[in-house]
Structure 1
Amino acid sequence: MNVSKNAEKLNEVSLFRLYLLRGLYLFIVVGLAIVRWPDVIQQVFFQEKPWELMEGVVISMLTAFSALLILGLRYPLQMIPLLLWELVWKSIWLLVVALPLWTAGQMDESTWAMAYKCLFVIIVPFCLPWRYVFTHYVKKRGDRWR
């Protein structure tokens, strides 16, 4: 019994860390609500002109992302995979696209703007409860296949 209680205690996430996660979710939700939701609302109600393909993809994905992150305010641990997705895709973009352009001195204005937006991802690793992530997403046995 003591062994299982000690194991559970190691896997617990502090209340401070839960509020830190909630704060991160709120920060992202509010930021995207200010930047992206007006685009969606304008498109739905006023339909001035159709979005270009990639513009529509980006706005739709970011809006869906922010809508799902609202659930993180209530279920901060269950929505961690969304934060991991955000951390991974922005890190890949910064390393594979921005860094080579920067080192070659070929960053244009739009690439700098995107890099600046992606650099906000630096706060995500500080908010994630890494012990919980390791225990639940790396160490834990996966679901059965059959």
Structure 2
Amino acid sequence: MIEVEQRIETAPGTVFAVLADGWSYASWVVGASHIRKVDAGWPAVGTRIHHSIGPWPLQVEDVTVVRELEPSRLLVLEARMWPMGKATVRLELAPTQDGATVVAMSELVDAGPGKLLPGAVQAALLRPRNREALHRLADMAVGRARQP
């Protein structure tokens, strides 16, 4: 499992509000390029974001499904990108004493050809991507916190 962390200078509820906005998914998830549909009730367990991954014209259409949810604390996603595979992505939000949030993002490729890659190769590919995703999430959450 690959894990990265990011301190975000706003409360967990504000960070979670970005995660709970399914239409913002392609803005912070590196590689997601287009949101086609967000199921009503997102991010309830079992709801999906219908998205495209990759650059045009090589985009792959697939879905991300919520597998576990504890609002403002935990979001577990099953992210699919067939034919490459699927991964379980876990986002844990922890408040700090000074009002910020530490987000831990872990990813485990658990199906498809990507699972066959050695752990070091997966880490080399996923760690920088997930760090960038958390930087984008931080920018969006801090920007949202500044809105009146």
TM superposition score normalised by structure 1: 0.26
Structure with greater Cα Rg:
1
Structure number having the greater helix percentage:
1
Structure number having the greater strand percentage:
2
